[in-house]
Structure 1
Amino acid sequence: MMPTFNPSHFLSYCQSLYEADSTYDSEQSNRLDRHRHVESDAAQFLANIATIRQPKKVLETGTSTGFSTLWLAYGLRHQAECDFISLDIDKNRSEAAHQHLQNTGLSASVRLIVQDALICLNDNTDVFDLVFLDAERQYYLDYIEGLYKALDVGSVLIVDNVISHRDEVSDFLAAFINNPRYLCHTLDIGAGLFMAVCQEP
């Protein structure tokens, strides 16, 4: 029987997951083997944005084992209709995320898709109200045109690791900072979050 959502269980589950994944990551010498989830305060910020914005369509690129996915689903749980897609290229990590979502009673809220983000963005014809980007940073520049098409007035793009890995993402961020369609802010939350809000079609 699938668990029903319980806020107290959700919060304790996420705390345990955060601690377990942090310990796991600290033991991995190869960064690609790490789960590399967002910091807890950044995940909670995502939930707050999802609650405030009340998006109808959400895209997450970089599910990993689903820590940020859980918090986005938490923020969307009162939405009567919301299409939330989370992408990861690694099937095993997507399956782990599915298990965490099941364990917290949120699995019906998310479509987990195993796919390269660039392929998804290139093929996409939809507009998303909220996009969270937390994938492999060396490919971000390739995502720009696809993201431009996926965002319209009121759409919010949030990018993780923009302070901790500033040099790796600076050119990507400049494509939004220097584009008059967007108002942008860098937030000192977690490893640094960048938020671009689309102001013009």
Structure 2
Amino acid sequence: MMPTFNPSHFLSYCQSLYEADSKYDSEQSNRLDRHRHVEPDAAQFLANIATIRQPKKVLEIGTSTGFSTLWLAYGLRHCPNVGFTSLDIDKTRSDVAKSHLQAVGLSTLVDLKVQDASDYLSKNQKVFDFIFLDAERKFYSDYTEYLHRALTIGSVLIIDNVISHSGEVQYFLAVFKNDERYICHTLDISAGLFMAVRQEP
């Protein structure tokens, strides 16, 4: 039987998962072998935004092993009829994320898709209230027009690692900063979060 959600169990599970994954990542010499999930402060911020925004449609680009996915699902657990899709190209990692979601009783909230983000976005016809982007930064510029199309007035786009890897994302972020349809903020939370809120069609 799948466990029911329990807040205390969720918090202790996430703490243990963070510690285990941090240890694992520290032992990997190849960056691509690391799980590279968000820091707890950033994950909790995502949950808070989800709780405040009460979105109907949510997209996460970059599931990895599901740490941010867990916290987004946590923030969305009281949102009625929410549709939450999380993408990753690696099936093994997506399967691990699924097991974590099942362990805390939140798996029914998330549609985990194993698919290349560019392929998904190029075919996407949905508009999302909330998009979280934490994937391979070298591909971000390929997503720009697709992201514009997937956002509408009130939509929130959040991007991780914008301070720790500022040089890799500066041109991508500038597209949103220089677009009058968005109001943007860089937040000094963990590795740095960039938030763009759509103000105009």
TM interval, shorter chain, is over 0.9
CA distance in 2, matches of 1:190, 1:117: 24
- Partner SS state of residue 159, structure 1: strand
Name the TM-score, length of structure 1 as normaliser. 1.00
Task: Give the match for residue 21 of structure 2.
Answer: 21
Which portions of structure 1, spanning 4 or more consecutive aligned residues, are displaced by more than 4 angstroms?
Answer: none
Which residue identity lines up with residue 192 of structure 1 in the other structure? Answer: G
1:141 aligns with 2:110: no
The answer to whether the aligner puts 1:40 opposite 2:8 as a matched pair is no
Q: Name the structure 1 match of 2:163.
A: 163
Letter in 1 for 2:42: A
Structure 2 residue identity aligned to 1:177 = K
CA distance in 2, matches of 1:92, 1:136: 17
Taking every aligned residue pair, what percent have the same amino acid on both sides? Answer: 75
| C-alpha RMSD of the superposition | 0.3
Counterpart position of 2:71: 71
> How far apart are the structure 2 equivalents of 1:95 and 1:82?
22
Residue 80 of structure 1, CA deviation: 1.5
CA deviation vs aligned residue, 1:11-57 (integer Å, no higher than 9, x gap): 00000000000000000000000000000000000000000000000
Report the 3-state secondary structure (helix = DSSP H, G, I; strand = E; otherwise coil) of the residue aligned with 2:143. Answer: helix
**Counterpart amino acid of 2:33?**
D
1:162 is paired with a residue whose SS is: coil
Report the CA distance between 1:88 and its aligned residue: 0.1
CA positional deviation for 1:6: 0.0
Distance 1:67 1:61 in 2: 13
The alignment partner of 2:84 has SS state of strand
For structure 2, the residue ranges without an aligned partner over 5 or more in a row are: none
Q: 3-state SS of the aligned residue for 1:135?
A: coil
Any unmatched runs of 5+ in structure 1? none
Q: Distance in 1 between matches of 2:200 and 2:121?
A: 20
Counterparts of 1:4 and 1:135 in 2: how far apart (Å)? 30
1:1-201 superposed matches below 5 A: 1-201=1-201
TM-score by length of 2: 1.00
Cα distance, 1:79 vs. partner?
A: 1.1
SS at match of 2:35: coil
